[in-house]
Amino acid sequence: MDDFLMKWGEAANTSVGFFWMALWAFILGYALSSMIQVFVTEERMHKTMGASNAKSIFLGTFFGFISSSCSFSALASAKSLFQKGASFISSIAFLLASTNLVIELGIVISIFLGWQFVVGEYVGGILLILISWILIRIIKPKKLIENARNNLKQADQDDSESTPLKKKLKSPESWAKVGKQYGMEWKMVWKDVTIGFTIAGIVAAFVPDSFFQTLFINSGEGQSSFSFLTLLEHVIAGPIAAFLTFIGSMGNIPLAALLYGKGVSFAGVMAFIFSDLVVFPVLRINAKYYGWKMSFFILFLLFTSLIVTSLVLHYGFNLFDMLPDASSGKSITDKDHFQLDYSFYLNIIFLIISGVLVYIGFFKGKDVMHHKEMAPKSPLLEKTLKYLAFAAYFWLAIGIAINYFYVL
């Protein structure tokens, strides 16, 4: 019993410590994302993304890069762009970039995994788009694309804003919209982040290394050399692990760090990180938008791309002797997360910024209307996630009390 209580306290302390490490990065990322989504409208994007050439794919990638990393927001935005005339491949480029190339995700990855994984994330995001483009050009799914467009209702009459960007930047109403969007960003992800960080702490404290060595063959602490077949199994097992713990791209990063610390290959961890768009909720949403045939085609497209990308990254990094030290993932569980270091001061600064955004959005701008389309979520799934998040808060509260008042 004492051993269980000790691990409970350790798990809760690790979860809260992980979140404290990343808090300023979340606030910075969602603040930037909110400003971009208010000041750069979809109407301005889709006009430049109608062709299937390199320019439209580049623009789709760029617009995705500066957009939100929330998978459900990205799905809705990509659907809207496709509906309004953007080409299929530029919409896919936007979708992949907005979930893999965004600034906030890179910041969180750098905190938990190091610069090599940040480079892998951004280079890998570009590779995912290029491989998807190549596959689409080879397969040429014209009939699927036509049917997908027919499944969508006709786009509303274009009512793009003509307000100059400079004027919008000076408008209190625009900044009130930024504050509202910032609140919506947290509303979209709070359950995923809560559950994700809680699971990461539980895995760190309770799950034995033998579990990971079974799921990811030939893995283990200190393991650095892998055969091709082992790497192939890892990049297939990565999406399976992501499916079992689907908690969004941001909430998955601490768990990705733990996987690497347990001896999972660089390729397997990158496949795990890239897998936020190949899980069942995303498959179901795409089916609602485009039909099941197109949804399965997108699944095939993204799954194939992430397998190839993860393998290319692993061998490429190995060629240039850039593979990170596997012990780095292990060390984050032993770190004292609550020191008076740069994280503490950055958290204080960005908590103040967060308070200001909430104030101008929901108190000063309470009469300002702002709505951003979201992908349709399952009410049952959302209710389940909400109760799991509340259960996680209860678990964390009891665990912290045990850690500081019982164990010590």
Mean local confidence (pLDDT), 241-247: 68
Tell me how far apart the alpha carbons of residues 269 and 53 are, in angstroms, rounded to a whole number.
Answer: 32
Contact 276, 224 (CB under 8 A): no
Tell me how far apart the alpha carbons of residues 145 and 365 are, in angstroms, rounded to a whole number.
Answer: 41
Q: What percentage of the chain has pLDDT greater than the value 70?
A: 82
Q: Among 198, 310, 322, which residue's Cα sits nearest to residue 264? A: 310
- For the chain, domain boundaries: 2-149+178-407
Tell me how far apart the alpha carbons of residues 292 and 209 are, in angstroms, rounded to a whole number.
Answer: 38
Who wins on pLDDT, 173 or 102? 173
Largest Cα–Cα separation, the chain: 66
Confidence of residue 234 (pLDDT cuts 50, 70, 90): very high
Contact 103, 288 (CB under 8 A): no
- Residue 155 is predicted with a pLDDT of 42
| Paired tokens of 222 | 């200190």
pLDDT in tens, 168-199: 788 888 888 889 888 887 887 788 778 878 88
Helix axes 115-139, 292-319, angle to 10 degrees: 130
Residue with tokens 């798990």: 11
Given a cut of 70, is residue 330 above it in pLDDT? no
Tell me how far apart the alpha carbons of residues 141 and 381 are, in angstroms, rounded to a whole number.
Answer: 32
Given a cut of 70, is residue 279 above it in pLDDT? yes
Given a cut of 60, is residue 375 above it in pLDDT? no
- Residue 331 is predicted with a pLDDT of 55
Tell me how far apart the alpha carbons of residues 350 and 235 are, in angstroms, rounded to a whole number.
Answer: 36
Q: What is the pLDDT of the chain when averaged over all its residues?
A: 81
Given a cut of 50, is residue 166 above it in pLDDT? yes
| Nearest 10 degrees: Cα torsion 209, 210, 216, 217 | 130
207-216, 304-313, 364-373 — most confident range: 304-313
Given a cut of 60, is residue 373 above it in pLDDT? no
Contact 235, 312 (CB under 8 A): no
pLDDT in tens, 34-78: 787 777 665 666 566 666 778 888 888 888 887 665 676 677 778
Given a cut of 50, is residue 153 above it in pLDDT? yes
Given a cut of 60, is residue 220 above it in pLDDT? yes
- Residue 231 is predicted with a pLDDT of 94
Confidence of residue 283 (pLDDT cuts 50, 70, 90): confident
Mean local confidence (pLDDT), 251-262: 82
282 CB-side CA count, 13 A: 28
Q: What percentage of the chain has pLDDT greater than the value 90?
A: 26
- Scored b (16 or more CB within 10 A) or e, 252-274 reads bbbbbbbbbbbbbbbbbbbbbbb
Mean local confidence (pLDDT), 137-145: 91
Confidence of residue 120 (pLDDT cuts 50, 70, 90): very high
Tell me how far apart the alpha carbons of residues 109 and 320 are, in angstroms, rounded to a whole number.
Answer: 21
Confidence of residue 403 (pLDDT cuts 50, 70, 90): confident
Tell me how far apart the alpha carbons of residues 221 and 224 are, in angstroms, rounded to a whole number.
Answer: 9
Distances, alpha carbon 264 to alpha carbons 38, 204, 372, in Å = 40, 14, 38
Given a cut of 70, is residue 12 above it in pLDDT? yes
